[in-house]
Amino acid sequence: MKRQDIILASASPRRIRMFRERGYEAESVSPRVRESVPFEMNPETTVMYLALIKARDVMQKRKGLIISADTVVVYQGRIITKPESPEEAFRILSGMREDRHQVITGVCIADNSGERPRVRCLYDTTDVFFGYYSDEWLREYVQTREPYDKAGGYAIQETFGQHVDHIEGDMDNVIGFPMYRVEKYLQEPPEAERR
């Protein structure tokens, strides 16, 4: 499979590493956008919209294949943001204990290297099931740095992963990027070659 240069509209080291591990030359360009929606949207539309505005911002500065993403945690139908304090992290994670939530990632794939830009947005959902963890363990956890730059206050590949009972769906999506969906798109020949 031909590996192509990719401009990743993200500063996430996890996403950059995922691309490079699969042999893509991924350059990181951080988008400068306000991550908010203009009106109430469901979680799936929200993540695609946020991915789209990140891609659009980078498209104004660079030409090429630009890929952006946004990930949210959804619990009981409500988007759970990144906690900003130990108290908030404790409240979020104690609420999700022994229960299921969803991790939803929206992706925008934009190619502005030709005369006419092509843009495609998609999303992927994974169900995550937490097991039991004590309040005492959780109080120690929220004093670490781990919860504060992650949607929902945890990362499955880090310390909190020991409390994930199981998942239904794609593990890469929980880490922050549905690589299998994007690779499938990248492997498709350009429209002119498909005719």
Residues forming the active site: 70
Run of H or E residues at 6? strand 5-9
CA pair distance 144, 59, nearest whole angstrom: 37
Nearest C-alpha neighbor of 58 from the set 4, 108, 102: 108
Of 91, 82, 105, the residue nearest 152 (C-alpha) = 82
Q: 102-123 burial, b if ≥16 CB within 10 A, otherwise e?
A: bbbbbbbbbbbeeeeeeeebbb
